Amino acid sequence: MACNFSNTCRAVIVFIWAALTLLIVHVASATNISIHVAASEIERQALLNSGWWKDRIPHNTSDHCNWFGITCDYEGRITHIGLAESNIKGELGHINFSCFPNLQYLDLSNNNLSGSIPSQIGSLSNLKYLDLDRNNLTDLSDNKIHGIIPDELTKLSQLKNLNLSSNLLSGQIPSAIGKLFNLKYLDLSKNKLGGSIPTEIGNCSELKNLTLNHNSLDGTIPPEMGEILLLQNLDLSHNNLSGTIPKTLCPMHSDMSFNSLEGEIPSNLRDNPPKSFAGNNGLCGHVEGFPSCSQSQKHPPSIILFVKIFLPLSLVLAFIILGFILLLKRQNKTLKLNSGAAKNGDVFSVWNYDGKILYEDLINATEDFHIKYCIGTGGYGSVYKAELPDGKVVALKKLHQSETEDSAFVKSFQNEAHVLSTVRHRNIVKLYGFCLHKKCMFLIYEYMERESLFCVLRHDDEAIELNWTKRVNIVKSVAHALSYLHHDCTPSIVHRDISSNNILLDSNLEASVADFGIARLLHVDSSNRTLRAGTYGYIAPELAYTMVVTEKCDVYSFGVVALEILMGTHPGELLSSLSSLSLDPKIMLIDILDQRLLPPVNQKIVQNIILVSTIAFACLRSQPKSRPTMQGISQELLVAKTLMQKALKEISISELRN
């Protein structure tokens, strides 16, 4: 009996314990839900109180996560506010930023906001992107310190992008800026900042772009800046900086013009020297456009001294004198070239020579084509980086062909090279000329610092740097370039090998089409039929049953590249689905976008992505005649019409395709 009673007691105790546990869990869950609901309501109320969404709330919805420019996480907490170019007026402080603890992205650029940056911004510990550019912000704190960069900004430890350019900031750059260890892009240009650059900026070890131009900064360039090993772009121009350039400083691209810098240009900057303007009249070194240090010290040109003394009094006169000097220098160079007195061939007019002199320069510059100078290999040849004796850096494509013993081929090659060398478009890599020597053929191109789009998209850090705006701009650049080749050149030029490998990026990640006309050069005796046209994965389907290459082949390849830019990878599986008619109607546009980037929230960018996607699918139509022309595509991208007023998550691939 005792045993049965004991078992009964245990059962009752277990039942009571389970019931209490369920009750506690239910209460805790309900409390947690209540907390989330309350927090979400606080965020919603903060948006309403700002007045910015007064005329932007969709009908029949109280869910602020669906409002214009708002993105929420799965718990309904706001992570993105994107209202760039939205005609917002009034005080920036009208919105209580402390109500958004999960905010990661804040873009209020290009509006009519005024007043100060409220201190609540300093509480946004998760903020990674902040852009307040192009507003009327004049008092940049909480109405206590006028014109000073607020210390609250230096508390945003997760911040990666900070753009406060084109405002009326004054005072000094705070030394606490060094606390922003994760900062990659800092733009304080076009303000009224004074004082010296803080040495603590060297602590921003992740910094890639630093733009401080058009301020009143003085003092010297801190040597600590040379400790920022990832620094690629540096603009210190139009300030009052003095002293020498630190020897440890080595950005890929720099502009230090219009300062009072002096002394020798460090050897590590000689490949990419600071731009030469009147303000840098004290710099010297073995760099084109600058006097040698021995000459500048022993025999300073009187005209330079005149400019240095009287520049503040008569800037116009100084520029006239400088222009006269440059004109004389150019005329002198032209005379030397015409007289044949130049020792080394000038790559910019190489087609005026037989290539022998330039050939020797290229052999020396690449140490007889040593592999350490090779920056790429393709179907047509290997590409080398070559620094010529005059300091110019060019890309040298050594072609695989060996028909130079055939005089007829050489003549045709020269004629075609002359035609292609006249092609001039801002989004086409410049062909400077060619060189024929024995059994070798060279093409000399403009050098692009960031190499190919293919490589950038496959490197996570660089792909993230390539944000949605830059990606859309790359699509536009390629479209404009192909439109020029197809419709503005006589005769028209079909590229024949459009791929992400043949789209090169400069230091600012702006795109240019490369290898244009290579197939034309190598098949000068054929018509429009060729055994090799394009890269696998980008080739138009009609080339499987016909070898006729037309402009519409480029259009198809462009469509593949456009999708690759949006997706961050080659759209191989998607292309197979399109061709096999097995496209899942449930696949949404947002599902195929590059997941390494945060979803776009700016409505202008969203519309551009919709437009690019629609054009890309039109380019991928199986029938060449149904594809648009590159001229039409270029015009569509310039106009950038609004196609559909839907969120990305509501747009299917099927809609875009049809």
* Catalytic positions, written as ranges: 497
Do the Cβ atoms of 611 and 637 come closer than 8 Å? yes
How far is the C-alpha of 250 from the C-alpha of 247, rounded, in Å?
8
How far is the C-alpha of 208 from the C-alpha of 511, rounded, in Å?
19
Nearest CA among 167, 162, 218, 170 for reference residue 193: 170
**Whole-Å CA distances, 36 to 32, 39, 120, 511, 548:** 6, 5, 21, 45, 62
How far is the C-alpha of 617 from the C-alpha of 456, rounded, in Å?
23
Beta bridge partners of 443: 397, 434
User: Token pair of 540, please?
Assistant: 């138009």
How far is the C-alpha of 277 from the C-alpha of 319, rounded, in Å?
9
Handedness of CA 80, 456, 247, 284 (dihedral sign): negative
Cα Rg, the chain, nearest whole Å: 30
DSSP structural state of residue 268? G
Residue 166: which residues within 8 A CB-CB, separation 6 or more?
133, 134, 189, 190, 191
Report the phi/psi class of residue 166: left, alpha or beta, with left for phi > 0 and alpha for psi in -120 to 50.
left
Cα pseudo-dihedral 576, 486, 478, 84, rounded to 10? -110
